[in-house]
Structure 1
């Protein structure tokens, strides 16, 4: 199910680094909120676009090795401005930063490390255990307590063996990340990862809140295709902290890992 331009995009490019989110980007925790997953994809897109303009003539590509995202506050479903800066230029490694702001307030920051592509196949090893293919899993849905347009925009498949804090699944979307700008495949791929926090929930989200404060993605190779595979474990500690940790896969195999820091608290309805 490749991206289809007849599907509503998550963002519409307005020019000058400004983007309008659509209802497809709406969040799962409360009305009027943007889900971070597509915003993470948008920040990755902005970084890749910035770097493409800088490095178009270079023979040796730099590949994305790590993305970190920090969520600074409430993500209103409103026009979003993105500014990008190269923090550490280089021929073999480079650090780039992108900041998203809404209504003049910074709401998220992303920092990307890229490193030079080299042939290291002779020493390749250490990959996580394989994940059954999407075709080997069954169509599924997110927990009914999750709301928002983003959750409803995702095609989800799982192995039918979810347990509290543990799950294996695949996700893809037919919705373009950005309308009006060419988008790198890695940006679309990373735009699905933040939903890991909803795959293997330990507690029902209408009873307990566990929003993530950040998202870190480490890659040991470039992902391919539209499907993102998740082998996810969620841990809650005794004092309000938690972690969602995921081995990430594409249809070729293991690609890397993601981690999310959770702030765990009773939902208002639960007292």
Structure 2
């Protein structure tokens, strides 16, 4: 990672975006995945505790934001013996642009029972070549496509972050996964003619945090009607499945072909 190329620089309580923090929909719009990453970073910094595991993160992306400095505020909603709930609000000087809610659960001994259904590990090895090259908007992260874009059937990719999120801070496993989870929308909502939806939110659920920098994403469901869609993916690391991500999305005229 290059510490001089972080997506945001912290200045006087604000997070100032770098040029590569833009998204694919417009050159002057912040990428929504970074807002989820910022929410995860703030909640983890202020509300993480040994023995508590980040089991869920829901990110609501209800307003597009231009490339403006952002602030993130968190609040503790519930602090019980086995559960902690914390929220985050992300704002610019134009108002609130996103919010998030995290659930932390107390870890304990795993029940010694045979499950009736288990998500299998990938039959895909980690990438051993360079990431793919793309035309147009170039993702500011490493991307390996295991299936062709828009091909029928489940889409699969490996992702790896290449820039810090804020200044020279190392990415935690939780923040790394929150950034990757936003890819659930293009992967589960892709069509043979391109991407015709933009997501309004995503909900990440984790049985465990990832090991290492690589995160695999596999689309496992899509349903749509009346210009509204929902999609789901399974998340993996090189050791096996780690959780799931569910998105809701709305039809978008500015489709990516």
TM-score relative to the length of structure 2: 0.87
Alignment pair present for 1:40 and 2:39: no
Contact 2:127 2:158 in 1 (8 A): no
Give the SS at the match of 1:95: strand
Contact 1:137 1:158 in 2 (8 A): no
Distance in 1 separating the partners of 2:3 and 2:67: 22
Q: How many residues end up aligned between the 2 structures?
A: 253
Give the SS at the match of 2:191: coil
Give the SS at the match of 1:72: coil
Runs of 4+ in 1 over 4 A off after TM superposition: 180-183
Q: Partner of 2:7 in structure 1? A: 10
Structure 1 pair 90–268 and aligned structure 2 pair: CA distance change class (3 A): closer
Structure 1 pair 265–93 and aligned structure 2 pair: CA distance change class (3 A): same
Q: Deviation at 1:164?
A: 4.4
Give the SS at the match of 1:106: strand
Please give the per-residue CA displacement for 1:194-238, whole angstroms capped at 9, x wherever unaligned: 123234521545xx6411000000111122211110111463523
Alignment pair present for 1:171 and 2:155: no
Structure 1 pair 180–29 and aligned structure 2 pair: CA distance change class (3 A): same
Root mean square deviation of aligned Cα: 2.6
TM-score relative to the length of structure 1: 0.83
Distance in 2 separating the partners of 1:63 and 1:155: 27
Please give the per-residue CA displacement for 1:226-263, whole angstroms capped at 9, x wherever unaligned: 11101114635231011221000011110000011110
Distance in 2 separating the partners of 1:257 and 1:31: 30
Q: Partner of 1:226 in structure 2? A: 213
Contact 1:47 1:84 in 2 (8 A): yes
Gap regions ≥5 residues in structure 2: none
